[in-house]
Amino acid sequence: MTDPVEYALRLFSEATDMPTGMAKHEALERAARAADASGDKHLPAVCRVALIQSCYYLNRYDLILAPIAWCHAAEKRDPSVFSDSDMRSLNWAHKWVPVGLRRDPRFTLAQIEAVLDELEARFKRFGFSLQPVWGQRALTASHVGDFDLADEHFARFVATERDDMSDCAGCVVEEQVEHLVTRGRYEEALRHAEPALAGRFTCSTQPQGVLTALLPALTALGEIERAKNAHLLAYRQSREQASQGYVGLHLEFCAVTGNVPRGMELLRRHLDQVHHATSPIGTMNFAASAALLLSRLDSDRVDLAVPLPGGGVEHTTAGRLREYLSGRAMELAAQFDKRNGTTRQSERVQSILDAPDVVHVPLAVPNPAAEPEPITADPVELAYQAHLAYEENDFLTGHRLLKSLPADLDPLLPAKLAAQLAARRTVVFPGPTALKDLPSAVQRLIEAGDLDQAARFHARLGMLKAESGDLDGGIETAEQALVSAEAHSSSTGRILVRLILCELLDHRHEHVRATALLDEAFELAKETASERISSVLVEQADHLARQGNLDAAEEILDQVLTTPGLRPGDRFHALRARMAIAEVRGDVDLALRTSSELVEFVRAYPGPWRPEVLLHRASMVDNMDRAGDHLRELVETVAVCRSEGTPLETAHACYVLSSGYLAHGRLVEAAEALEEALRLLPSQAEEETLRTRYRLGSVCAELGEHAEGRRHFQAMLGLVADAPSASQAMVWAGLGATSHALGEPAEAERCHRRSAELWEEAELPVEACRAWIKTAAAIADDAPLEALTALARAESHIEEGDLAARLTAEMLELRGYTYTQLDRHAEALDDNMRAAAIVADLDEPDWQIFLMVRAARNHVAMDAADVAEQLARDATELLSDDTPPSITARVLDVLTRALEAQSKPVSQDPTARALTTRLRA
């Protein structure tokens, strides 16, 4: 028969190993019941404390009452059932009880006041600071709308000193900032938060809690840059903490600062909160915030999928969801007000639903650029204007006119014009069936009696075939079009067909025939269509450039671009051709100048060429490592691509934008841009996905988001399985670094070892050396002998060259540390001193100090404290104003050890006193 205590212990152990969630909570309840039946004195209390902590992590304070009540009864019977740590946890958990009751209108104000009185009495009995009590009383008074009383309790909250039973410093500041913001004391809230934000946080909800609470103050004060940074950083750190209630405040921020597209992305990610918030007040707040955001949409017809309580999803529209959420928020507010006997919550919810826009806050990924207003005119007249614009070679204007036409205009137009526009639409807005649709459009032109346009669009069909990969078929079609044009077309038609055929023949390297066609086109233009001369000259420049005759091509383009009254279409093509020639030549300055001129030109002409032109320039500056100098342009490129480009173009633009942010060390914004790029990339874009994931994984690691970084590197493994060894090695190195940061040395060693082997396969000795050093670093503490073997592999890859000294120093430093782990202090000392000598020549004083401290520690271990003391004093001489405090602390530590080993008074040593003063400062 199983021992009851062992059985209860097993259930408890299994439950504690489960991830946070209701399943774990229910398993802890089963363990608690088994512990009660086991007869063990302490285990039932241990289980109840674990249940209370589970309520906290679930943010289900309503569930806390039962285990708290059990603990109260047990405490009265025999307090010794609680260990010291469990009693501390129990005392701490009493602060959560009024929170849970306040968040649920089923509990009365009298019950809330009773638990607050109990909390105060308990903390007085144990001699704890009453700061948490005053904080909870202030929150309760604010909740019911008694702001005079809230201010009174808040004053006590601020004035009372913290102790180890107070919430963490960051959470205390968050509560204080919330109160000040609620009272409209924005400048005071900001001043109050500054010291906290400058410090370090150990709490899982900070600094995101303080930053989120500050958002209304920052926008009210016009602190645009700080508001942007607060939103981005706080949301990144709280997006997995939806139960904490921060998400709704970010939805409100997006709604009122002109960032509705961003807000909708966040809302879609957290739609589970519609029905799965962890408390009534959480449901109410999220509902009000989400309804506000939805009210800012241009259309109520946006589709949304809302997870349902029993599983599955409900597909609804933004309008229906907004109506439900606003009603639900007001319904819950009424329940709270009935409980509280005030109107505070209804007024607060209504103020959220009616919130006006505040200052616009540009974010890392800009909103889509404003779409140009459609041109409004009589539809038939608009159709004539569109056709005329294309006839005059102004496709830039023609495109916008064509796009403005109603889709069902055909029956209202004369047959010939309707056929012309149908063919034009097929070419300008080609769908997946364009190769089938265009012949039908050509036939329609023939039937309408427009043989001229039929020949031109037949030539366009040839171009479409060539672009789809059928160059020979395309040339054959264009040749047929030329025969038809010669028989039926105007001079303009005959010129245009020749230009199309010329380009196709160039692609098949039939340059002689192409030249002849160009000469014929030029003569036709001179004799009968002078307005087409510039178009012919631009094609002639392209023709020469395709043959490598760049000087002659550029000379023609210069002539075209100085032509008075040059048509927009010709200017566009000439600028693009000149930019391409400059890039081929490697003339960076000319390429940048021309691309800048082209970007400025197309700003006035919305259309698919605008994202193409801006993105080309963005890629150009990125390839030249100048992204940081053109950040504003890169932001504009993303905005234009989001409104006029394809998802792939937008993803590329976001990737380049991340280069600009990284050049300025703006890691959070770079991560945001990269995440947007990854979201938009189609599944077949494997190369772009790899590039984006690698950079995003690296940036996440730099931000300390190591689990997220590792997720991206892991996702890359399958994509690089057949890639070159160097590409695979980079991914494995990223996995090793993030695993090391997550405290998983065995996994870090495995990944770095694989990376090292792949660098060896790629015959890249420097990278292989560093990878073996990282392999050793991962296991130096747990498996020092294996680490030495890895370091020997590293040393074998050090070759003569610029990096030889640095690599040798890195290897010696780690080998010295590894020898120390094996208590081989003489060898450790030798390696440390050799490394220090090398580093001294590299002029890196911080590294040199670090190595001298290591050597000093070895001297202390070898009973040579006098030598260690001198090394510490020598290291002190190398300290500068830029030396990190951590290194200064190491120097003081080893000096202290050396002095104590010699029985010298540390407190009277001038160097030790100076180092102590420096650290305190």
pLDDT in tens, 142-199: 999 999 999 999 899 889 998 888 877 767 788 888 888 988 999 998 988 887 677 6
CA dist 51 and 683 (Å) reads 44
Question: Model confidence over 669-726: pLDDT tens digits?
Answer: 999 999 999 999 998 899 999 999 999 999 999 998 999 999 999 999 988 988 999 9
* pLDDT for the residue numbered 373: 73
What is d(CA 233, CA 445) in angstroms, rounded to the nearest whole number?
59
Burial level of 648, CB count in 10 A (0-12/13-18/19+)? Answer: middle
pLDDT digits (tens, 9 = 90+) for 879-918: 888 888 888 888 899 899 989 989 888 888 888 888 888 8
DSSP strands (E only) in 79-216:
none
Res 279 pLDDT > 70: yes
- Per residue, the 3-state secondary structure of 444-457, as one string, reads HHHHCCCHHHHHHH
Contact between 128 and 162 (Cβ < 8 Å): no
pLDDT exceeds cutoff 60 at 756 = yes
In 3D, which of 465, 453, 467, 543 has the Cα closest to residue 496? 453
Return left, alpha or beta for 647; rule: phi > 0 is left, psi -120 to 50 is alpha, else beta: alpha
| Residue 259 backbone dihedrals phi, psi, to 5 degrees | -125, 45
Q: Could you write out the DSSP letters of every residue in 575-612?
A: HHHHHHHHHHHT-HHHHHHHHHHHHHHHTTS-STHHHH
Cβ burial of 562 (10 Å; 0-12, 13-18, 19+) is: exposed
Write down the pLDDT at residue 171. Answer: 74
Give Cα separations from 536 to 395, 496, 525, 546 (angstroms). Answer: 16, 9, 8, 15
Specify the pTM: 0.82
DSSP string, 379-432: HHHHHHHHHHHHHTT-HHHHHHHHHHS-TT-GGGS-HHHHHHHHHHHHHHS--T
Q: Which of 243-257, 422-436, 444-458 has the highest mean pLDDT?
A: 444-458
Q: Mean pLDDT throughout 324-333?
A: 96
What's the token pair of residue 523? 């003569």
**909: burial class by Cβ within 10 Å (0-12, 13-18, 19+)?**
middle
Helices 647-663 and 686-702 meet at what angle, rounded to 10?
30
Query: Does residue 242 surpass a pLDDT of 70?
Result: no
Residue 265, pLDDT above cutoff 70: yes
C-alpha separations of 398 from 401, 568, 608 in Å: 5, 11, 13
* Cα angle 554-560-563, degrees, rounded to a multiple of 5: 145
Distances (CA, A) of 413 to 299, 409, 418: 31, 7, 6
User: What pLDDT, on a 0 to 100 scale, did the predictor assign at position 136?
Assistant: 93
Q: Tell which phi-psi region holds residue 357, choosing left (phi > 0), alpha (psi between -120 and 50) or beta.
A: beta
pLDDT value of residue 246: 83
SS3 865: helix
What is the residue type of 729?
A
Q: Position of tokens 């029985």? A: 903
How far apart, in whole angstroms, are the C-alpha atoms of residue 683 and residue 141?
Answer: 53
* pLDDT of 240 over the 80 cut: no
Contacts of 587 (CB under 8 A, 6+ apart): none
**Phi–psi pair at 93, nearest 5 degrees:** -65, -20
Query: Would the pLDDT of 1 be above 60?
Result: no
Local confidence band at 204 (pLDDT 50, 70, 90 cut-offs): low
Please say if the pLDDT value at position 305 is more than 90. yes
Query: Per the structure block, which two tokens stand in for 204?
Result: 């899982």
Range 387-414 burial, b when 16+ CB lie within 10 A, else e = bebbeebbbbbbbbbbbbbeeeeeeebe
HEC profile of 755-781: HHHHHHHCCCHHHHHHHHHHHHHHHCC
The residue-averaged pLDDT of 658-667 equals 96
* Residue 207: cis peptide before it, omega within 30 degrees of 0: yes
What is the structure's pLDDT at 674?
97
536: nearest Cα among 524, 546, 521: 521
| DSSP one-letter code for 317 | E
pLDDT tens digit string along 373-399?
Answer: 777 778 888 889 989 988 888 888 888
Q: How far apart are CA 189 and CA 185, in angstroms?
A: 6
Contact 117, 101 (CB under 8 A): no
Q: Are 168 and 183 contacting, i.e. CB atoms less than 8 angstroms apart?
A: no
Q: What is the per-residue pLDDT for 551?
A: 94
pLDDT band at 202 (very low <50, low <70, confident <90, very high): low
Identify the pLDDT of residue 710.
95
pLDDT at 241: 67
Mean pLDDT of 331-354: 96
Q: What phi, psi does 130 have (nearest 5°)?
A: -90, 10
